[in-house]
Amino acid sequence: MTAPPPPGTVTVHPLHGIPEVVAGDQLGQLLRTALTRAGLSLLDGDVLAVSSKIVSKARGLREAPDGRGDAVLRHSRRVVAERRTPTGTTRVVEAQAGPVMAGAGIDGSNTGQDDRLLLLPGDPDGAARDLYAELLTAYAPQPLPLIGIVVTDTAGRPWRAGQTDFALGACGVTVLEDLRGSTDADGRPLAVTARAVADEVAAAADLVKGKASGVPAALVRGLPEGTVTSPGGPGARTLVRTGPGDWFALGAAEAVRSALGAPPGSEVADHVGVASVGPEEYAERLARAVRLALLDEEAATVTEEEDGRLTVHAGTPFVAGRVVARLEVALASESIEGVRVEWADDR
């Protein structure tokens, strides 16, 4: 007889053999079949981590591959940052699905025989609850153990290289463990610690799911007591930090450009030009700063002198002074420093 694992042991089991999912498939039944094939029976406290990709496939959330940039804007609430790449403009956005992520989570990889792009569900927590209901049906008339569902997706993170999986949607999982008010191992009070439990479950499951192995779901077992709760609790959307608590609502350059009238994702921003992800020549960065400074200033011009100074020409000293101030700020948005800006009295 196999001894039970020591307390605190968490195990992650990949669910192999799930076929290519198409629109109309019942994921609950597919997951039950995969669990049976793996010799696993659901127990109280288990969490199923399921890739959003198969959720989107089952729901038929597809869009034509051309016009991806427009699709990103349609499925976004706001643009946070944008950069030119060899294949077009990449935008980090607040997706309609909730999280702030690149390209609104619109994906063109592992889409199956249908080469159309996959879209995220607009209500990921609702999708997790629907999957829970499908499992209730798949296991009927047997009762479903007290389990949780985490719908996972992949994203990068500020200040960290690489991508990791996170909880896009959740049902029956305590998504955030707030430790504030308790004490650490040394008895010191904890003032800011809150563990994103659902994200940790998603990241752990990704270690066995992977992106190239064709394993879209995993069973996570042995999580601390209280991780799995009733299916009516708060979902993963509560983990999204937007509004007053968002210290990083715009990229540094985008915040400056927005203040000067060229918010990211707008036609004005495209007219001014979007910075590249790669190195750019000084002349290109300077030209973009000048276009930004001259927005709505049709009577003004800027010339570059032989010594590198920039001279603003305008009809009145007031307009010239305003453009000088705008140009100094625009240069900062392009990380151009040490350039003298002055105005010429052309009256």
Tell me the Cα Rg of the chain. 26
CA distance 342 to 324: 7
Q: Find out whether 289 and 275 touch, Cβ atoms under 8 Å.
A: no
Confidence at residue 161, expressed as pLDDT on a 0 to 100 scale? 93
CA distance 210 to 57: 18
The domains of the chain, with CATH numbers, are 11-245 (3.30.1330.100), 252-344 (no CATH)
pTM of the model: 0.88
Confidence at residue 180, expressed as pLDDT on a 0 to 100 scale? 55
Query: Within 13 Å and on the Cβ side, how many CA atoms surround 99?
Result: 26
Confidence at residue 184, expressed as pLDDT on a 0 to 100 scale? 60
Mutual orientation of helices 52-59 and 124-139 as an angle, nearest 10°?
A: 80
Phi-psi region of 226 (alpha: psi -120 to 50; beta: other; left: phi over 0): left
Q: Find out whether 265 and 205 touch, Cβ atoms under 8 Å.
A: no
Sheet architecture: strand order including 160-171: 11-14, 217-221, 47-51, 148-157, 160-171
Query: Within 13 Å and on the Cβ side, how many CA atoms surround 33?
Result: 8
- Tell me the one-letter amino acid at 227: T
Distances (CA, A) of 323 to 24, 118, 267, 317, 347: 58, 45, 21, 10, 16
Full pLDDT tens readout for the chain, 347 residues: 567 778 889 999 999 999 999 999 999 999 999 999 999 999 999 999 999 999 999 999 998 888 788 899 999 999 999 999 998 899 999 999 999 999 999 987 777 777 889 999 999 999 999 999 999 999 999 999 999 999 999 999 888 999 999 999 999 999 998 765 566 666 666 555 678 999 999 999 999 997 657 899 999 999 999 999 989 889 999 999 888 888 889 999 999 999 999 999 999 999 999 999 999 999 999 999 999 999 998 889 999 999 999 999 998 999 999 999 999 999 999 999 999 999 987 66
